[in-house]
């Protein structure tokens, strides 16, 4: 189903992202080959100038990724109106085997672009630009992701078959089996919720402790703690998506058998999904980058820059995590404590 405004827009977005990345990759290859921060040759000055371009392109890329994710979800919702047996965006994503991988690649894209921008900010905070090589090696890693993205998108769109009247014979009844499709089946709710709130509590306390420590200089095992903190955030992100889909969304819809992570974005449900996902994505992003940036403290000139970034990131984290928990817990709380919708 390529000939559809949504499909075309998604393709244009992916093509634009690829175009921007191509510009950055050119710079990356030149930088990896010729970068020498001590030199003052014309080539080095040229390369330093190009850093600005690649930063610009990557920032545009980041905005594009966010837009593309939003568009993909809206498009899926739109497709669901014309696909066999699709009730909402979930059905459209499950319509063929490429839908969910495409969604995951888009989500990864946002984080990976974001981390690059953090890296760039840290890099230019020092005159010696100590992270330049790492930064451009990273750009090259993004290329397979972008290629996978556009490939999955094309496969997904080509494989989508709209449900239309066929002139030869009776209707195609593929629909009945698809009714009430959910991304995940029933889950052990109590165990899941204990894990969810437990991990959230751990991350909050961990964030507080790290924030206290951040301005006091380094401490033993800093790197390992940083990595563990990031991994825990990643785990929390995945767990949150599961909890939103399997548990929370039914409370938002007031329908026990409707478990969909996408419909909460709709106006019928006060678009509360935007708040939930914004808080979750940003908190996870800053949580993970606060942890990962500890790896750079050992580099020359980086200690101060990393410390000040971590303080900002952890503060944002500690603000957004409770917001996320509050919004997410509100709907079940209304039911369990207040006795339901009135």
Partner 1 sequence: MTMNSVGRLLNILDYALYALRRKLLKNVSVFCLFALVIFFLSSFLLVSKALTEAAQRILATAPDITVQQMSAGRQISIVASAANELSGIFGIEKIDERIWGYYFDESNGANYTVIGMRTPFVGSPAALQLGLAEGRLPALAEQGKVVISDNIRQHLQLGERKHFSLFRPDLSQAGFEIIGLFDKKLEIITADLILMTLADARDLFAIPEGYVTDLLVYVANPNEIDTVARKISDTLLGSRIITRNQILKTYKVVFNWRSGLGTICLLTALAAFVILAWDKASGLSQEERKEVGILKILGWQTSDLIFLRFCESLTVSLLAFLSGYVLAWVHVASFDGALFRPVFLGWSVVRPVFSLAPPFAVEDLLLVFTLSVIPYLCATAVPAWRAATVRADSVI
Query: Which range binds partner 1 by CB under 8 A, 53-61, 284-292, 295-303, 333-341?
Result: 53-61
17 Cβ contact list (under 8 Å, min separation 6): 61, 64, 65, 68, 109, 146, 149
End-to-end CA distance of the chain: 42
Q: Which of 39, 43, 52, 184 binds partner 1 (CB under 8 A)?
A: 52
- φ/ψ of residue 80, rounded to 5: -60, -20
Region at 270 (left for phi over 0; alpha for psi -120 to 50; beta for the rest): left
Taking the complex as a whole, how short is the minimal distance between the CB of residue 333 and partner 1, in angstroms? 29
Residue with smaller CB distance to partner 1, 149 or 226: 149
Establish if 64 lies at the interface with partner 1 (CB under 8 A). Answer: yes
Q: What is the tally of helices (H) and strands (E) in the chain?
A: 11, 0
Alpha-carbon dihedral 266, 269, 274, 276, rounded to 10 degrees = -140
Taking the complex as a whole, how short is the minimal distance between the CB of residue 255 and partner 1, in angstroms? 14
Site string for partner 1, 32-51 (x = CB under 8 A): -----------------x--
Mapping DSSP onto H, E and C, the string for 121-176 reads HHHHCCCCCCCHHHHHHHHHHHHHHHHHHHHHHHHHHHHCCECCCCCCCCCCCCHH
Number of residues counted as binding partner 1 (CB under 8 A): 40
Residue with smaller CB distance to partner 1, 246 or 265: 265
Taking the complex as a whole, how short is the minimal distance between the CB of residue 298 and partner 1, in angstroms? 28
Query: Which range binds partner 1 by CB under 8 A, 18-26, 131-139, 233-241, 282-290?
Result: 18-26
Between CA 59 and CA 304 the distance in angstroms is: 24
Taking the complex as a whole, how short is the minimal distance between the CB of residue 34 and partner 1, in angstroms? 17
Site for partner 1 in 111-170 (CB under 8 A): 162-165, 167-170
Establish if 171 lies at the interface with partner 1 (CB under 8 A). Answer: yes
Rounded to 5°, the CA angle 191-111-262 comes to: 55
56 closest CA partner among 64, 46, 45: 64
Establish if 8 lies at the interface with partner 1 (CB under 8 A). Answer: yes
Residues making contact with partner 1 (CB under 8 A): 2-9, 12-13, 16, 19-20, 23, 49, 52-53, 56-57, 60, 64, 67, 70-71, 74, 78, 81-82, 162-165, 167-171, 173, 175-176
């Amino acid at each position: 189903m390529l000939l559809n405004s949504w499909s075309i827009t998604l393709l244009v977005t992916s093509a634009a992202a690829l175009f921007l990345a191509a510009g950055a990759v050119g710079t990356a290859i030149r930088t990896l080959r010729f970068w020498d921060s001590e030199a003052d040759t014309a080539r080095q000055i040229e390369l330093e100038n190009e850093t600005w371009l690649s930063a610009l392109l990557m920032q545009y890329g980041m905005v594009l990724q966010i837009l593309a994710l939003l568009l993909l979800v809206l498009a899926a919702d739109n497709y669901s109106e014309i696909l066999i047996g699709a009730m909402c965006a979930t059905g459209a994503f499950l319509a063929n085997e490429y839908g969910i991988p495409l969604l995951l690649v888009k989500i990864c894209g946002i984080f990976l672009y974001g981390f690059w921008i953090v890296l760039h900010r840290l890099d230019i905070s020092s005159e010696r630009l100590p992270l330049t090589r790492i930064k451009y090696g990273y750009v090259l890693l993004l290329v397979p992701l972008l290629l996978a993205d556009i490939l999955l998108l094309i496969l997904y769109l080509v494989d989508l078959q709209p449900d239309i009247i066929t002139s030869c014979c009776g209707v195609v009844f593929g629909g009945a089996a698809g009714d009430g499709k959910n991304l995940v089946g029933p889950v052990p709710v109590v165990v899941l919720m204990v894990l969810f709130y437990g991990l959230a509590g751990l991350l909050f306390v961990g964030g507080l402790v790290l924030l206290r420590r951040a301005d006091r200089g380094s401490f033993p095992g800093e790197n390992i703690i940083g990595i563990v903190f990031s991994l825990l955030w990643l785990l929390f992100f995945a767990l949150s998506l599961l909890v939103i889909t399997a548990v929370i969304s039914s409370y938002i819809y007031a329908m026990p058998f409707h478990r969909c992570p996408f419909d909460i974005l709709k106006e019928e449900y006060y678009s509360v999904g935007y708040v939930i996902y914004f808080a979750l994505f940003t908190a996870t992003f800053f949580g993970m980058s606060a942890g990962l940036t500890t790896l750079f403290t050992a580099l020359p000139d980086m200690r101060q820059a990393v410390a000040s970034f971590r303080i900002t990131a952890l503060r944002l984290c500690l603000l957004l995590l409770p917001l996320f928990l509050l919004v997410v817990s509100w709907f079940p709380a209304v039911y369990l404590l207040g006795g339901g919708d009135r």
